[in-house]
Amino acid sequence: MHYMMLDTCVLLDISTRKTDLPIVSALEELVSIGNVRLVIPDLVVSEFNRNKDNVAEKTTRRLSQEFKQVRSVVEEFGGNNKGTAIEVLKEVGSRLPLLSEANYATISRVEHLIEKSLKVEATDSAKLAAVARALDKRAPFHISKNSMADAVLIELFTEFVTNNQSGGDAFVFVTHNHNDFSSKDHREPHQDFSEIFSSSNVHYFSTISSAINFLDEGILEDAQFEYDFAQETRSLQEILSAMDELVDKVWYNRHCNRAYHIKNGNIRIIPDDDKRYGNEVIHESIWRSALEAARKVVEKYDDTGPWDDFEWGILNGKLSALRWVLGDEWDMLDT
């Protein structure tokens, strides 16, 4: 048996993202065939119940806002075919309530998974262990936020593993909360949790899809196939999010090139009161800001290079293509 403990963020994500419907189906299948037993602490159930409606409503508002943006663009730039396009949009608009209700249908499926799960109550020992983590400033208290619930969660997982080791089962912890639980490589747990995941039958995953593929490599692919019979355009928010990531990475690569030239003396760092400007110099305050921005990019993304010329070309090509879709000219790569 594989015992899988899920963080609240995982349950909320798969409840409200249409792209995660295959994941819900795969989990349902794994549970039904007895390959997986979900382990859901009571604090996760409570947090899920408090936030599910709010998250679903945010998804509905996002969908409505994106629809309004598209309609506004069509009305302004639709040209001779604007009337036909507006009629189509009206039809889509009439279906928005149905699309919104789909969120709650998925939430209902996730709630059914929770009902069938093995419930775990927050014990006093787990709470005390969480307090000890807070006092020692160990993850998830390594960042400036109140992470007590996360700490209790990981301590409950630790207790569950300890109390059930005799049966030869495997234990899986899944969270999408990279900041609190993951190392710099989001696929790995923070070093403060290394002892928890040191055994060969105890596993950490930062995405639910990777956990499912670990348990059954083909089941998620089969579930995905069922939802891929119709290809749909991506949402505006998806495109904007992808563009943000590409802009960050293109800028970061240029930053690394500048750091190389500084190291080799081709570019000099000069005081802020120095009035010289140009490609051969950079002022101290600007360079400090650039270093801080680069640090944030490295922390934010799993892959920040280095890239070879081919990979670098692909990165720029993706950014150029997305910007062209949203109205810029080809080869617009300003960052």
pLDDT of residue 200: 93
- Arithmetic mean of pLDDT, 297-325: 87
pLDDT-derived band at 325 (thresholds 50, 70, 90) equals: confident
Residue 198: is its pLDDT beyond 90? yes
- Torsion, Cα 188 193 198 204, to 10 degrees, reads -40
Rg, Å, the chain Cα set: 24
Task: Give the whole-angstrom CA distance, residue 211 versus residue 4.
Answer: 9
- Torsion, Cα 155 52 177 150, to 10 degrees, reads -20
pLDDT of residue 92: 60
**Token pair recorded at residue 236:** 């505006």
Would you list the DSSP string of 22-42? HHHHHHHHHHHTTSEEEEEEH
CA-nearest of 330, 319, 179 to 244 is: 319
Give per-residue pLDDT as tens, 129-187. Answer: 999 999 999 999 988 777 899 999 999 999 999 999 877 899 999 999 999 999 999 99
Amino acid (1-letter code) at residue 168: G
CA-nearest of 105, 117, 127 to 6 is: 117
Residue 199: is its pLDDT beyond 90? yes
Give per-residue pLDDT as tens, 256-266. Answer: 889 989 988 89
Which DSSP state fits 191? G
Q: Which residue has the tokens 């400007």?
A: 277
Give per-residue pLDDT as tens, 288-310. Answer: 999 999 999 999 888 887 888 89
pLDDT of residue 20: 84
- Rounded to a whole number of angstroms, the distance between the first and last alpha carbons of the chain is 50
**Token pair recorded at residue 191:** 């070093």
Q: Which residue has the tokens 């400036």?
A: 144
Check: CB of residue 48 under 8 Å from CB of residue 114: yes
Average pLDDT, the chain: 86
- Arithmetic mean of pLDDT, 3-30: 91
Which segments within 9-164 are labelled E, that is strand?
36-41, 118-120
